[in-house]
Structure 1
Amino acid sequence: MNRTPAAVSAGLGLRRALLDQLLAAAPGDFDFLECAPDNWIGVGGRLGETLAQLAARTPLTCHGLSLSLGGVEPLDDTFLARTRRFLDQHRVALYSEHLSYCADDGHLYDLMPIPFTGEAVRHVAARIRQVQDALGRRIAVENVSYYAAPYQAMDEVDFVNAVLEEADCDLLLDVNNIYVNAINHGYEAHEFLARMPTRRIASYHVAGHYDEADDLKIDTHGAAVKDDVWDLLAAAYRLHGVRPTLLERDFNFPPMATLLAELDRIRALQAQAVSRDAAHG
C-alpha cells in the first residue's frame, strides 16, 4: 500500500550529503523525504541500505530529473519500467517530473524551457499520458524556472494550465519558481498563483534563490528561503489549501538545525491556514 504524506506535512530532500544526519534525526523532525529515483535506481551497498532504512520509517516521495517530458527523443521504456519498480518497492504515492526537457541526442544536464504553443501542449501532454500509463499512476508536473523563452504564443500560466488539462495530470506547484519567473519575466506572482488549478495541486516546493540583480533571480536551491517566497507560500495555502510541502536544498547545506527551523516555518504557515479555514468553515 502506498504511503501518502499528510496534507499538513513538511519534508526534506533525501540528499547523499545529508544521509547521516537524516538517519540520526529524531522522529517528527521531518514528515517525509523526497528523492530522485534517477539517482537511486540500482544503487546498493551502504547507500542502498540507508535509503531502505529511511524509506521504511518515513514516507517517500519522488521527483524525477531525466524523463525529458518536453523532448522529442522517444521516452525510455526501460527506464520507465525501472522507475515503476522503484516506486512500487518503496510504496511511493507522489511522483513528479519537470515541465521541461533535458535531452536531445544525449543528456543536456539542465532543464530547458518548452515553447509555449498549442503544438507543444499537445506534444507534452501525450508524453505525460504515456508516462502515466507506463508507471500505472497519476503523476504531477512541476512549473519550472526558466531564463529564456524560445517562443511564446501563450502566457506561461495558460501553457501550464493547458498541459495539465490536456494530460489530465496533477501539479507540483513550486512557489519559488513562480517568484523567480515573475521577477525575471515581468509578471505578477500572486496573479499567476491565483490562476493555478486548485484541484490539481498535489504538493508544493519551496526553496531559496540567488539575487543576481533586482530584475534577475537565479533558482539555486542553495540558500535560505527569502521572505517574499514565504509570503507567496502563505498565499498559496490561503488560495489553494495546504498540501505536503518540500523544502528544497541541494547544496551549500547549513547545520541540520537550520533546515529544521525552515521546516518549522512551513508547519507554522500550514497551521495558520488550517486554523483560518476552521474559523471560516
Structure 2
Amino acid sequence: MQMPQGAGLGLRRQLLDEVLTTSPTEVDFWELAPENWLGLRGRYAKQLARVSERYPLICHGLSLSIGGPDPLDMELLASIKRFMQQNEISIYSEHLSYCSADGHLYDLLPIPFTPAAVTYVVTRIQQVQDYLRQPLILENASYYLAPGAEMTELEFLLQVQQRSGCQLLLDVNNTYVNACNHDYDPLAFIQALPSAAISYLHMAGHFREDDGLLIDTHGASVIDPVWCLLQQTYAIHGVKPTLLERDFNIPPLTQLLTELAQITTYQHEVEEVRDAS
C-alpha cells in the first residue's frame, strides 16, 4: 500500500474535461469516492482511465458504515475491491462514523464514544482489513452531538486505532470544527495522535451558523485558523500527503489550484527547515 506524496484534490466529474485538457502539474494525486464511479460505462469510464494513467488515485468511501448496527455490506466492499484492482488503486479510506440502520441514512452519524462501541468497531475494522488484506484508513468525522458518551472523542479514536491497527486520515478542518463546537483544544488533539498511524490529511472549508455553530460543509474556502492548524500539524507530525476537499459550490479549477498551492508551500517550508537542521 503506497500512499502518494504531496498535495491532492478530490476528483469530481465536472472537472474531468478540464483536468484531461490541462493536466495540471500542481496536483500530485486525486481522491475519489468509489461509490460514485462503480459500474460506470462509456465516457466517464474512459475519462477515469485516462486520469489514472496520468495521476495516482486513492479511494475515500462514503457508505461502509463501520460503526452502524447493520451487518457490513460485503457486496459493496467486494465491488470496491474490484474497482480498486481495475484502476490500480491501493489506498482506501473511510469515515469513523455510521450511515446505515436498517438501510442507508444518507448522512454520517457519530458513533457513541463508549468502550462497548470501541470493541464493536474494532471487530468490524478487522473484518474489513482481513478481507482487503491491508489496513483500513479511517477519518475523524465531524459531529454535533455525542449521545451516551463515556469517553472523549480523542480517547475513543486512540483506542480504536491501537486495538484495530487501522491507519488514520486526519481531517484538520473536522478537528477545528469539533474543537470549536465541543470546546476542546484542536492542537492538543492533534499532538496526541501517533504520527506513524497518520496516512494522510484532509483540508476543507466550513460554514458558521448565526449562533456560532460550525458546520462541516466542504463548500467553502479554507479559513486562516485551519491553515494555521495545518502548519502546526506538519510541525508536529512531519509533512503528510494532504488533500483539499470541495464537494459543492465548486469553483473553477484554477481557484482550487491556488488553494492547493498553499498546501504545497507549507509542505516545502517544513521540508526546508528539516533539511537545514
TM-score (norm 1): 0.96
Work out whether residues 63 and 97 of structure 1, in 8 Å CA contact, stay in contact via their aligned partners in 2.
Answer: yes
Q: 1:152 aligns with which of 146, 149, 156?
A: 149
Which digits, 9 at most, give the CA deviation of each residue in 1:108-140, with x for residues without a partner? Answer: 000000100001011111111111111121121
* CA shift for structure 1 position 61: 0.7
* CA shift for structure 1 position 48: 1.0
Please state whether the residue corresponding to 1:115 is helix, strand or coil.
coil
Work out whether residues 64 and 96 of structure 1, in 8 Å CA contact, stay in contact via their aligned partners in 2.
Answer: yes
Structure 1 unpaired stretches of 5+: none
* CA shift for structure 1 position 24: 2.0
Q: Which moved more, 1:37-46 or 1:178-187?
A: 37-46
Please state whether the residue corresponding to 2:157 is helix, strand or coil.
helix
**Does 1:237 pair with 2:225?**
no
* CA shift for structure 1 position 272: 0.8
Which digits, 9 at most, give the CA deviation of each residue in 1:160-211, with x for residues without a partner? Answer: 0110011101000000000000011111111111111111000000000011
**Does 1:197 pair with 2:194?**
yes
* CA shift for structure 1 position 235: 0.6
Structure 2 unpaired stretches of 5+: none
Match of 2:90 in 1: 93
Q: 1:124 aligns with which of 121, 125, 136?
A: 121
**Does 1:48 pair with 2:45?**
yes
* CA shift for structure 1 position 250: 0.5
Match of 1:5 in 2: 4
Detail structure 1 runs of 4+ shifted over 4 Å in the superposition: none
Q: Tell me the number of residue pairs that the alignment of Structure 1 and Structure 2 aligns.
A: 277
The whole-number CA distance in structure 1 between the counterparts of 2:241 and 2:40 is 27
The whole-number CA distance in structure 2 between the counterparts of 1:236 and 1:23 is 33
TM-score (norm 2): 0.97
Match of 1:209 in 2: 206
The whole-number CA distance in structure 2 between the counterparts of 1:78 and 1:122 is 24
**What is the alpha-carbon root mean square deviation over aligned residues?**
1.2
Identity %: 52
Which one-letter code corresponds to 2:22 in the other structure?
A
Please state whether the residue corresponding to 2:199 is helix, strand or coil.
strand
Which digits, 9 at most, give the CA deviation of each residue in 1:27-70, with x for residues without a partner? Answer: 41311000011111111111111111111210001100000000
